[in-house]
Amino acid sequence: MNRRVVITGTGIIGPVGKTASESWKSALEGVSGIRRMSLIDPEEFTSQIAGEVRDFDPEEHFDRKLVKRIDRYTQFAMVAAREAYAQSGLEGSIRPERLGVIIGSGIGGIETLESEHKVALERGVGRINPFFCPMMISNIAAGRVGIDLNAKGLNFATVTACATSGHAIALALDMIRLGRVDAILAGGSEAPITLTGVGGFCQLKALSTRNDDPKTASRPFDRDRDGFVISEGGAVLVMEELESARSRGAEIMAEIVGAGMTCDAYHITAPAEGGEGSARAMVLAMEDAGISPEEVDYINAHGTSTQLNDINETEAIKTAMGEEEAHRTPVSSTKSVTGHMLGAAGAVETIFTAFALREGIIPPTATLFEPDEACDLDYVPGRARKADMEYALSNSLGFGGHNVTIALKKYSG
Amino acid sequence: MSLENRVTEIIIDKLGVKPEQVTMEAHFDTDLGADSIDQYELIMGFEDAFGLRIDEDEAAKLTTVGKVVEYLREQDVDQ
């Protein structure tokens, strides 16, 4: 496989910014996007805080008719895809048949599902909105982006909970390597801040209840962490075959050099002992990239701020990298400021990792005050750190035991 | 508000079209860009607004704005 794949566009809309560069700036400066929930009345929930996309007016992006026919999760995907596509400069220089889309969602249009279910119960099934199905399904963001940007190549969604957009990127890498298309809009989106979305995660005891201090509630690797903070948003990358990008003089952000995908085959929500599955994903990604642990200069962790994830991911990094290299390698979790954007998380973090490689600076684990005894790696606490890096990994792990690691390389021509 | 105006408002709201497009002669498909699901949603909108049920065979005949107004007038809907 000689075809190399680079990033030529990025788009993020989320709790710490309405563009990729704005979000990256917040991640670097440790500016939290977590607040008390406003989209729903949080009073009855154990967790009352979230990373919402604030002041989002869909009519700034779409005409009124379209706004009513696309769920909030699709709106985020389309906004992020437009940003990435505009940045890539691909429009007019790629045949639509050679442009693909792989954009997933952990859940899909849950807000639409809830509201139409209410209609069905209160007014009868005959009053369900005829657009209900094509609004709610978790592949419709990919379909809508295809229509919006006239991308006529391969088009589908991945659905692996919090690993969703990690898988989208991993599959896009292989699809471009195989020559099925020349460029892909890859990513994920999520709009889970609804009654059942938040209620469900509360019932799992997965969410932080640090309601009196939202800004430090997401505390990856911290001794006092008490769960993740639910967030929403969308993130999309333009991934493109290197020669295609070079020949049209595109600005290249970073190269994607490998991916590893595994399953724990252990438990529906808890990670396998010692993060065994996640460790194998990291090893596979390094093998795919043709690099050794000594060459990895940074790891953007899944780092959710739950008890189990952070301990097991730490163990996984040690297993994959070897004890010595694990302690040498900076690891950080940008979920400290974004919260957990579920299906969008992997793409957000891959984009942050690309920015880190390009700019030579590692975003911090902004809210790490006192590390857990069992979390003894260098988590870049508090402040960003300058570092000359060549290779980095980005981890995403999802309910179902899905593990995916993306390997990136600084692009230097 | 006249029946014509109420119907026009519903069409503007559902289809996102401009008021001047909604003439009595306008066809929902060719003039107002409504596909079959759009048209079904529109029928539901009329049903909700005027408190009646329009059966499928009848709905299929309502291809222009004028035909909807005429139909609703025949039904003696509450204005």
pLDDT computed for residue A285 by the predictor: 98
Q: Is residue B79 part of a domain?
A: no
Specify whether A340 is catalytic: yes
pLDDT digits (tens, 9 = 90+) for A193-240: 999 999 999 999 999 999 999 999 999 999 999 999 999 999 999 999
pLDDT computed for residue A19 by the predictor: 98
CATH number for the domain harbouring residue B20: 1.10.1200.10
Q: Which domain does B8 fall in, by range?
A: 3-74
Distance in angstroms (rounded) separating the CA atoms of residues B75 and B52: 9
Does this chain's domain A5-247 share its CATH topology with A257-410? yes
Neighbours of B41 (CB within 10 A): 18
Q: Is residue B21 part of a domain?
A: yes
In total, the C-beta contacts within 8 angstroms joining chain A to chain B are: 18
Q: Is residue B63 part of a domain?
A: yes
- Taking any CB pair shorter than 8 Å as contact, residues of chain B touching chain A are 14-17, 37, 40-41, 44, 48
Task: Domain A5-247: state its class.
Answer: alpha beta
Average confidence (pLDDT) over A106-134: 97
Helix (H, G, I), strand (E, B) or coil at A237: strand
Q: Which residue of B has its CA nearest to A62?
A: B16
Number of domains forming the structure of chain B: 1
Distance in angstroms (rounded) separating the CA atoms of residues B21 and A99: 36
pLDDT digits (tens, 9 = 90+) for A29-80: 999 999 999 999 999 999 999 999 999 999 999 998 999 999 999 999 999 9
Which phi and psi (to 5°) does residue B66 adopt? -60, -40
Query: From the candidates A202, A340, A375, A402, which is the catalytic residue?
Result: A340
Pairing of strands A402-410, A254-263: antiparallel
Task: Domain A257-410: state its class.
Answer: alpha beta
pLDDT computed for residue B76 by the predictor: 84
The token pair at A96 is 């639509």
Among residues A410, A192, A225, the alpha carbon closest in space to that of A314 is found at A225
pLDDT computed for residue B79 by the predictor: 59
A66/B40 touch (CB, cutoff 8 Å), yes or no? no
Distance in angstroms (rounded) separating the CA atoms of residues A230 and A218: 9
Which residue ranges make up each domain of chain A? 5-247, 257-410
Q: Is the CB of residue A158 less than 8 Å from the CB of residue A165?
A: yes
Identity of the residue in B15, B41, B48 whose CB atom sits nearest the CB atom of A131: B41
Euclidean distance between the first and the last CA atom of chain A, given in angstroms as a whole number: 20
pLDDT computed for residue A205 by the predictor: 94
pLDDT computed for residue A367 by the predictor: 98
Average confidence (pLDDT) over A258-269: 96
pLDDT computed for residue A2 by the predictor: 87
Low-confidence ranges of chain B (pLDDT < 70): 78-79
